[in-house]
Chains A and B, each alone.
Chain A
Amino acid sequence: MVEPNLNDELLDAAIMDEGVAAELLAPGNGNPRPSSWRLYWRRLKKRPAALVGTIIFCVFLFLAVFGPWVAPYDYQTQNVKVRLDAPSVAHPFGADQFGRDIFSRIIVGTRNIFLIGGFGTLVAVVIGTAIGLASGYVGGTSDEVVMRLLDVLLSFPSLLLALVLLSTVGPSNFNLVLVVAILYIPMVARVVRSMVLDLKNKEFVEAARVRGEKRSYILFREILPNSLPPLLVEASMRFSYSIFLVASLGYLGLGVQPPSPDWGLQINDARNFLPIAPWLLLFPACTIAVLVVSTNLMSDGLRQVMLPGGGRN
């Protein structure tokens, strides 16, 4: 007898070993395999890290939407009595140099981060997808030219490029969104283009060409829907990086302008008080870290549940 050794890790391996499962469970016997979304959810449940990441992300998302109503204090109210107070029951993260509640400022600041990062990512995804689709499908010299132009954009360090752009056009929420978008368009475009290159010679696309489908139909009905899982993974990764970027720009004074409660801005302000009130810096910095890490965990989880085996279909 071989020692029975069944633990969760093995079960997990069994789930990922789809070759074995698919062969043993040949479909089509009146017992359809679960739909892909249900399969994703089932796999996600088996990955605690990804699940925790997703839950934390959802908490932040909730704060972004309902922050001002959830926060215990108004983010602008100054209470001179509690200036630079250490964390307490009344002010769990302490209070800043004007006596404003840091906990509330962090909560209310979530929305800005999500709006700028989210819209920036969204614009990048839309434009990047369009560029990737067109460039990949047309191919040839124009593809070559477009991709090299994007490479030029990619070759600048992103923070440097953001600084240059923002110092030219001036800091505003709208400009921040634009900058995030410009920085991330090349990356999204590359992901989409690689999917298009893979899909455009697949037989189902050729079958569409054989029946004389228009180019737009082939791109949007045949190719795009099949590029969505990797695109979603890429978008969530871009979003987590955009949080970083927006916070960094805020710290450098080129991001969200005062008196808006911005995390990066709070860290910058807190520098002067570091020796006497370290919590001023600690809590916003930790919040950024937690959000970035949880978003990363979530996008990692998404990658694992949606693209097992490194994206092979």
Chain B
Amino acid sequence: MTRHRGRGMAAINYPIGMNLGGDPSQALVHSNPSGKFTVALSSIDLGQGMKSVTRQICAETLGVPVEDVYVDTADSDTGPHCMGSFASRGTHRVGNAVMAAAKEARGVMMEAAAEELEVNAADLETDGRGNIHVKGAPHRAISVKDVAIAAQFRQGKTISGRGIFLVPLSDVDPETGEMSPATCYAHACLVAEVEVDDETGEVGVIRMDSAYELGRALNPRLVEQQLVGGAWMGMSHALYETTEPYYPDPRQGPRDFVEYLMPGPGDICPHDIAVLERPAPDGPFGGKGPGEMCANPVLPALANAIFNAVGVRIDELPITPEKVLRAIRAQGGARPQTRR
């Protein structure tokens, strides 16, 4: 029995948002009389951090601290339409809608502040800490809270904004497939190192090194969550998961987590990640969307690493020990390739 090490890599790109566009999202932003803002969405947070990333986008656009913004999601009576949380569209589509709504609300806020300070709104700026002051004259300032009170009770203004973001729907040419599928793309390259046991066919993942380009990383901790969790899912897809182990034979489908295999906490490996930020021209602060694409390079990188380790190509997923072992036997034993 020998355990063979091997390395493989893969590079990918990923379209952001629903293919062809035509997938709008809306947002509403308003202030209460204390200068605290609520973002109303019908978008969904299924763990990816929708509430958190839109909160930061809103705070940045308004020029207020993030603690002064709260995002309320997914009530169809209060949240305006959103296509949904899928297709890596949350950050890009909903983020842009929130940005537009916050911009409109900021416009009203600055007008109201200008009236209080008796200056032109164009001469004002926010300090990001909850105050608005005259550019170059920080002492001529008013707090966002006082602006909100004045707007509500004296000026009769609503500090609020509406936003929608829509990439217009693209046609598809039936003959050539000419189309505008997406406005921006995320990118990645991942190197995986594996250890393959030529007696059992088992594949252990030793480590991963990767580079992901995601537009601006709006919140690096959220990005890290997606990339680490997504790589785990990619590893799981590559080596473990299927609802039909002998597809297209529909039998032997798993019924529970005992039969449906996924790597556990003891099967994971160190993963060293670099994040590159080439801002998307139409993304909110240049953001794209890391959610889906992070799993994709792992599958082929592992398959390629297995080839490097033992010289077998497994072109059918998942790459189970059974498949690896049969392939090794079919070629008369492991044939390690040039070590990388």
**Pair from one complex:** no
Q: Which residues of A does B touch, CB under 8 Å?
A: none
